Amino acid sequence: MKYLVTGHQVIPGAGHSDQVNYLRAGKAWARRHMDDGTLVAAYSFADGGGMFIVNTPGHEELMRMLLTFPLAPMTQFSVKPLLDFDQAANIIIGTLEAFA
């Protein structure tokens, strides 16, 4: 299942050096998950925070993965499941045609 995960830091790091260490660890985490295919994309927002597109078998695996993100204890996540656009459109078309 694919998910859109957005997040922003709600608790600041203790200092600049701590923040640098967290970000370096976050980069390594992203690289590992990109390499294993569970992280499809990772972007930062210009005004802070960022987003991931994650591909896991289910909700439980997603939760386990997010809990390993180095900045997780300081981050508020929002998760939305993603559907392939063509498949979603076909579902809606089929439902609407049943009422026509």
User: For residue 15, what pLDDT band results from cuts at 50, 70 and 90?
Assistant: confident
- All structural domains of the chain: 2-99 (3.30.70.1060)
Asked if pLDDT for residue 18 goes beyond 90, the answer is: no
Which residues, at least 6 apart from 33, have a Cβ–Cβ distance to it below 8 Å? Answer: 39, 54, 65
On the CB side of 45, CA atoms within 13 Å amount to: 11
Asked if pLDDT for residue 32 goes beyond 90, the answer is: yes
At 38-97, the pLDDT tens digits run 999 999 999 999 999 999 999 999 999 999 999 999 999 999 999 999 999 999 999 999
pLDDT value of residue 17: 85
Q: Quote the pTM value.
A: 0.88
Percent of the chain as helix, strand, coil, to the nearest 5: 45, 30, 25
Q: Would you state the structure tokens that stand for residue 23, as one six-digit string? A: 């970000």
